[in-house]
Amino acid sequence: MNRSNSVEPEFLTTLPTSGGRRAARRLRDGVWLAPRALGALALLATGAVHLQQFERFYSQIPTIGTLFVLNFAGATAIGLALLAPVERAGGRYGGAILVLLAAAGIALASVAFAFLLISEHTPLFGFQEPGYDPPAIAAARGAEIATVLFLGAFLVGRVGLKAPMWRW
């Protein structure tokens, strides 16, 4: 099938689908849901690691313990909001809300990563990381890096490329 005004790849128009072009467009637009969902899950993992470490080690340390709980609360709220259909619930501001949530997730993960890095080398709020739990430190770093990469990719597609996004 060769269509002169079609910008879709030929294989998308020849695939047997129930919706034809609409289904192909929906599949293409839905690709951007993956980095959004993966970024949200990585952010939830960041919060979970901080809650586990708070309960295990940091609950008695004045400022640091509070920051661990706040990290958990923020990561949970932002992560769940990124998984929710905020574009529909937010009405005409849904797209802007989604971009702000993704940027907030990146900021939370970046700050947590930076504070961990600082606290390993110099005291932060009067506390220096003694390295109680290296696997948890590695898990926190991995989740924070994944959050920044996935949500960053989502924002590049959403804002930078102005790619069409399918709403869930």
The pLDDT confidence band at residue 167, using thresholds 50, 70 and 90, is: low
Q: How many CB atoms are located within 10 Å of the residue 38 CB?
A: 17
For position 98, what pLDDT does the model report? 92
Q: What is the mean pLDDT of residues 62-86?
A: 94
Q: What residue ranges do the domains of the chain occupy?
A: 34-160
Q: Choose between 14 and 156: higher pLDDT.
A: 156
pTM, two decimals, is 0.78
Q: How far is residue 76's CA from residue 88's CA, in Å, rounded to a whole number?
A: 20
- pLDDT of 96 > 60? The answer is yes
Q: What is the mean pLDDT of residues 77-101?
A: 90
| Beta-ladder partners of 124 | 127
